[in-house]
Amino acid sequence: MRQKAAFAVLAVLTVMFLAVNICAGSVNIPLGEVIGILRGYGQDSVNGDIVLEIRFPRALAAAVLGGGLALSGYLLQAFFHNPIAGPFVLGISQGAKLLVSLFMLFGGVWSVKLGFGGSITAAFAGAVISMGCVVCMSRVVDRMSMLVVGGVMVGYICSAVTDFLVTFAEDADLVNLHNWSRGSFSGLGWEHVAAASAVILPAFLCVFLLSKPMEAYQLGEAYAQNLGVDISRFRVVLVVLSSILSACVTAFAGPVSFVGIAVPHLAGSLVGTGKPIFMIPACFLGGAVFCLFCDWLARILLAPVELSISTVTAVFGAPVVLLLMVRRRK
């Protein structure tokens, strides 16, 4: 019963913040007018262009990418059995950022020809390399706290190399790279929504189909093996799916912090269970709500100046991580 209520709340919040993101901004558009535009009336007006070409695709992109990032964090927490594991903390987002930066700065004509596919591929390669470093460290260190420190160091190294590469960039490339690296859903259109959905939604379905073996894995590797789960193959699948999700988000929106850590814990508190069959859709919807809310704040707080999305997600996500660490010490 609690799970049904939780999903109803998440669904209502998702629709509500979608509406808020479409209606509110430097130009406020009444909800009735927005509904009329979506039904085909007044699409040629200025407000019609604002709704259909700017706000609606941006809101959908924030929902899809936010859900993917939260789900990536949940997979990493399940993989490492660490409640503060996440793409940003473990340096995976920074690894993706490094390879995308290389592609943007030195890809030349190929960066234009390959477009979204090239960026996603570069981000995936960077995410997998960083994830590989973290997995290797997990086999060496005994304490999970040291694993997190190692992941932070991987992130610092990737960020340092990215900053070094920036010194060789042309002015035009530098502006594009700087805007992207701050993290933002600004400028995302229907083509970005289609490309992101084509990657994230199938990945979400694959993760959901793994809910049963994931539940067994959470109870211990020996228990999962006794139930017939191929642990080695299962761990590889988790790494690949988590890397795909975090890489896709980084490729389109840049590095976004704390969503992958905070949302799984908020979703778990809401649904009242740790079972993956409930947690997976709850994390996806929770990530969508969280990013829609933060993107709305990023647009309106200092309008017409727009804040970085990571700035807002950190304000709300960091306290969740701190609270979690305090609880673990008690």
Distance, in Å, from the CA atom of 115 to the CA atom of 323, rounded to the nearest integer, reads: 41
Please say if the pLDDT value at position 330 is more than 60. no
Question: Residue 329: is its pLDDT beyond 60?
Answer: no
> Taking the complete model, does pTM exceed 0.85, yes or no?
yes
- CB neighbourhood size of 12 (10 A): 11
75-89, 133-147, 198-212: least confidently modelled range: 133-147
| Sign of the CA dihedral running 100, 77, 296, 37 | positive
What mean pLDDT do residues 244-269 have? 88
Nearest to 308 by CA among 250, 249, 257: 257
Of 76 and 118, the structure prediction assigns the larger pLDDT to: 76
pLDDT above 80 (res 307): yes
Give per-residue pLDDT as tens, 91-142: 888 888 888 888 877 766 566 555 667 777 888 888 888 888 887 877 776 6
For residues 233 and 291, the model is more confident at: 291
Residue 247 scores a pLDDT above 80: yes
For the chain, give the percent of residues with pLDDT over 90: 30
Three-state SS letters, 118-178: HHHHHHHHHHHHHHHHHHHHHHHCCCHHHHHHHHHHHHHHHHHHHHHHHCCCCHHHHHHHH
**pLDDT mean over 143-160:** 80
SS (H, E, C) 296-328: HHHHHCCCCCCCCHHHHHHHHHHHHHHHHHHHH
* 258 three-class SS: coil
Q: Residue 115: its pLDDT value, please? A: 65
Asked if residues 165 and 102 have their Cβ atoms less than 8 Å apart, the reply is yes
Domains of the chain: 2-329 (1.10.3470.10)
For 56-71, what is the mean pLDDT? 95
DSSP H helical ranges for 210-308: 211-218, 221-226, 231-253, 259-271, 276-300
Q: For residue 13, is pLDDT > 70?
A: yes
Indicate whether 45 pLDDT > 70. Answer: yes
